[in-house]
Structure 1
Amino acid sequence: MSTERILVIGANGQIGKVLFPALQELWGKDNVTAADIRPVFDGEGIFEVLDATEPKAIYALLSRHKITQVYHLAAILSAKAEENPLSSWEINTRTLLNVLETGRECKVSKLFIPSSIAVFGPSAPRTKVPQNTFLDPSTAYGISKVATETWIAYYRRKYNLDVRSIRYPGVLGYQSMPGGGTTDYAVDIFYKAVKGEQYTCFLEKDTRLPMIYMNDAIRATLELMQASPENLSVDMAYNVASLSFTPEELGTAIRKYIPAFQITYVPDYRQTIAHSWPESIDDSVAQKDWGWQPKFGLDEVVRDMLEHLSNHS
């Protein structure tokens, strides 16, 4: 029986609800605790209501469950953050510092706190963005994620706290509805397709963005967290790449299976966000340090999404 005790903060979110059962499978159901500010939880296992803006509540939970590893996923995502930037900064940054500090105080052995491709801005290359480059985001969410990476590096160096991070591309999967991200079109489009409905995209048809399938995102997270610390050369967050495509290319791939599917384009404020991000990512450092390789290409993603959503429609 493992002596590791895992906490997933933000377990009701897009990634959290998939990562939580994956961690249960890895460590055992009794060793993994889900936590979220929303009191309704549809998973199986230990669940705690938690407001991560309250450090005393985090400290009490870490102590009560004798937590050794924390996955902190709670955040306000890019599109929602632009609607209320000050509130998103307050929530994203306060919860980050609370988790880092309580993790240090409780001598947690390992933490995962995700970053995002939103950290890149106009000074970064448009294609094959390297691991080390300019981080000058033009969005509230991106600014908060640069702060996240900087604080992660600070706690690693000052307190020797083992904090690990991935710059997630757009994550798409069938397990949950879109949750306020700019790349959410790549999830919502499938729900319309399986219903035989036309989809109206909020991005221009040629907007190319880096993406990752949920299965690969979860596997990347677990592989990074299980990697030997002596192999890890990045103090902030790792670039992770999988695939890049445009809305038009995704629509074409869907029509291979649903020929009648139609898509129109009505760009809104999220187009500006998307335009500030790169088209592709260079993840050669992740490949070298911990052997990262994606398994899902565009056709595999489309086939798997349509199969699962058609079975549940």
Structure 2
Amino acid sequence: MKQTEKMLVIGACGQIGRELTVALRKQFSRHCVIAADIQPEDKIDLEIYPYKQLNVLDKEKLEALIMEEKITQIYHLAAMLSANAELNPQAAWRLNMDSLLSVLDLSVKYRVKKVFWPSSIAVFGPDSPKKNCPQQGITEPATIYGISKAAGEYWCKYYFEKYGLDVRSLRYPGLIGYTAAPGGGTTDYAVDIFHHAIKGETFTCFLKEDTALPMMYMHDAIRATLELMDASGDQLQVRTSYNLGALSFTPKEIYEEIEKEVPGFMIHYASDFRQQIAESWPQSVDDSQATKDWCWQPAYDLKRMVSEMLSKLSILS
């Protein structure tokens, strides 16, 4: 029953975590959802409370929190994203993998009912199909972030099959939202571009103008997460991670859509090391398995997303 659930969102101050925490509290109640992140409590907005400062690599503190709060569901979002991970591979591996293994171990020990862990399109690599990349597409990632996500998917499947732990996962595409700043991902240009447009500043894009990537508005991503977690376990045929799709566009295409609403907005292109990362990923994914298993359908197209992003950021700026 919903009223008996006690949820822990790890990485609650991040791009996904903040909005997921709000959504879970609307669905359940404020005090059923504990937000946790590495930031000190005196740096946290009141709206984030109840909040616990947590370094997820500290397994003893994580265990104490799960035990004391009698946690029944864990949403483990803490990670180092693709671009930042390439700059510090070993630290990225420790954060992305050691924390997942701690969450899985403790979830078995304390009989946590459900665990959500996000994967990524980064599990695919240069040899994966570029268009409509299938659920079972080749996963030979070319980045440390992708390597950690690919390995994590199989750890999740292993814990489900070995221990019966109900772990669920989505391969998020690039996510675009207005509540948090870009967090060091290769697709973050599609968030940063809106901030420059609102300020009337020329935007310099670190990808080439024709680089198509799978993308998604944050509202769709949060809804997909909730729908997956609400689905009956009997419906789910994938225990690694589901492909999740919505949009696919290039920097030029999103710029042109923004410029319709912000006339005179300018863009320049200066590709860097992130271009090579982007070129190793698919341009679009086939998410028909998610549609079949739990009726996934996106709600936002490019035009609707751009309009809402500009509207929301104008209010916040």
Amino acid at match of 1:168: Y
Question: Residue 5 of structure 1: CA displacement?
Answer: 0.5
Match for residue 295 of structure 1 among 282, 291, 299: 299
Q: Percent identical across equivalent pairs?
A: 54
Amino acid at match of 1:23: L
Question: Residue 44 of structure 1: CA displacement?
Answer: 3.6
Q: Tell me the distance in 2 between the aligned counterparts of 1:10 and 1:258.
A: 33
Superposed CA deviations along residues 149-193 of structure 1, whole A, max 9, x for unmatched, are 010000000001000000000000111110000000000000000
Match for residue 41 of structure 1 among 40, 44, 48: 44
Could you say what secondary structure the match of 2:79 adopts?
coil
Q: Tell me the distance in 2 between the aligned counterparts of 1:44 and 1:263.
A: 35
Question: Residue 134 of structure 1: CA displacement?
Answer: 1.1
What residue is the counterpart of 1:160 in the other structure?
A: 164
Question: Residue 230 of structure 1: CA displacement?
Answer: 0.4
What residue is the counterpart of 2:12 in the other structure?
A: 11
Query: Can you give the 5+ residue segments of structure 2 that lack an aligned partner in the other structure?
Result: none
Question: Residue 258 of structure 1: CA displacement?
Answer: 0.8
Q: Tell me the distance in 1 between the aligned counterparts of 2:52 and 2:181.
A: 22
Normalising to structure 2: TM-score of the pair? Answer: 0.98
Structure 1 segments of 4+ aligned residues over 6 angstroms from their partners: none
Alignment of 1:143-222 (within 5 A): 143-222=147-226
The answer to whether the aligner puts 1:228 opposite 2:229 as a matched pair is no
Q: Tell me the distance in 2 between the aligned counterparts of 1:275 and 1:252.
A: 22
Q: Tell me the distance in 2 between the aligned counterparts of 1:204 and 1:30.
A: 45
Superposed CA deviations along residues 70-116 of structure 1, whole A, max 9, x for unmatched, are 00000000000000111100111100100000111010000000000
Superposed CA deviations along residues 114-136 of structure 1, whole A, max 9, x for unmatched, are 00000000221000011112110
Amino acid at match of 2:94: E
Could you say what secondary structure the match of 2:127 adopts?
coil
What residue is the counterpart of 2:32 in the other structure?
A: 31
Q: Tell me the distance in 1 between the aligned counterparts of 2:50 and 2:202.
A: 40
Alpha-carbon contact 2:126-2:279 (below 8 Å) kept: no
Could you say what secondary structure the match of 1:2 adopts?
helix
Question: Residue 45 of structure 1: CA displacement?
Answer: 2.6
- In the alignment of these two chains, the number of paired residues is 313
The answer to which structure has the higher helix fraction is 2
Alpha-carbon contact 2:12-2:37 (below 8 Å) kept: yes
Q: Tell me the distance in 2 between the aligned counterparts of 1:89 and 1:245.
A: 30
Q: Tell me the distance in 2 between the aligned counterparts of 1:265 and 1:219.
A: 33
